[in-house]
């Protein structure tokens, strides 16, 4: 239960920190942090929580990471579902806190996006479904690949959170214009619950593509680094 609680808190922090930066600070008048700031915020949430709860739960914070680690032989399959449930609940609670904060500003409207992920007319850059799917699959695959490599037995001890956090930052720098960057079904679900409508209708992609990409990343890693574990 401690590990499930840690995943709840960790995912709460990821969504509040990452999506919160996008909703509250990205376009703030004159001193907005922009895409670069949002990307860094997501990376920092993982970096900080990896040190805080890594020894407790492994700091997955992401159903795709949990599935990828299971596919990579690093996590028991029987624990996947409770981890995913804890992560999704943490994301929804974080989104509710973010909504409580953001709705205190005059003129706030979740129809503006609320950091939800989307494609087509709901993609920040107007990218079609195909582009969004490819982006989410490839970015998640590379994320899981780096996680498996950074946490392998031969990797420098204690440093894994740094490349993992930087990788998530890089992923956001690449793909925010395409889908607003998911690579994390829990993160997508948390804010979609509050946006509703189109965000719920398009949510399927941000489960299917990251989970597929996670498994693909694990398969590739096991193929090229069979002796690393």
Could you tell me the CA-to-CA distances from 56 to 44, 49, 62, 65, 126 in Å, in that order? 19, 11, 15, 16, 40
Residue 189 lies in a domain: yes
Residue 207 lies in a domain: yes
pTM of the full predicted structure? 0.94
Residue 215 lies in a domain: yes
Residue 229 lies in a domain: no
Boundaries of domain holding 52: 2-224
Percent of the chain scoring above 90 in pLDDT: 86
Residues 116 and 38: their CA atoms lie apart, in Å, by 13
Residue 94 lies in a domain: yes
The DSSP code sequence of 176-210 is HHHHS--S-HHHHHHHHHHH-HHHHHHTTHHHHHH
Domain count for the chain, please give it: 1
- Tokens for 31? 């001193």
Q: In the predicted model, what is the mean pLDDT of residues 114-122?
A: 96
> What digits encode the pLDDT tens for the residues 35-82?
999 999 999 999 999 999 999 999 999 999 999 999 999 999 999 999
Q: What is the CATH number of the domain that holds 190?
A: 1.20.1080.10
> What digits encode the pLDDT tens for the residues 12-33?
999 999 999 999 988 766 667 8
User: Which residue bears the tokens 């907005």?
Assistant: 32
């Amino acid at each position: 239960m401690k590990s499930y609680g840690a995943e709840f808190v960790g995912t709460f922090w990821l969504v509040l920190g990452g999506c919160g930066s996008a909703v509250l600070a990205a376009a703030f008048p004159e001193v907005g942090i922009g895409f670069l700031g949002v990307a860094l915020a997501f990376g920092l949430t993982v970096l900080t929580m990896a040190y805080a709860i890594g020894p407790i739960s492994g700091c997955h914070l992401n159903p795709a990471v949990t599935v990828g680690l299971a596919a990579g032989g690093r996590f028991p399959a029987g624990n996947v579902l409770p981890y995913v449930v804890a992560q999704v609940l943490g994301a929804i609670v974080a989104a509710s806190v973010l909504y409580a904060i953001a709705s205190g500003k005059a003129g706030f409207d979740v129809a503006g996006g609320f950091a939800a992920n989307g494609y087509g007319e709901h993609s920040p850059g107007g990218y079609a479904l195909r582009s969004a799917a490819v982006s989410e699959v490839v970015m998640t695959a590379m994320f899981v690949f780096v996680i498996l490599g950074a946490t392998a037995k031969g990797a420098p001890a204690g440093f894994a959170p740094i490349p993992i956090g930087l990788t998530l930052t890089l992923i956001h720098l690449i793909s925010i214009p395409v889908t607003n960057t998911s690579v994390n079904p829990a993160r997508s679900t948390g804010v979609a619950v509050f946006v509703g409508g189109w965000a719920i209708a398009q949510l399927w992609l941000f489960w299917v593509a990251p989970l597929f990409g996670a498994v693909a990343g694990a398969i590739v890693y096991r193929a090229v680094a069979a002796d690393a574990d």
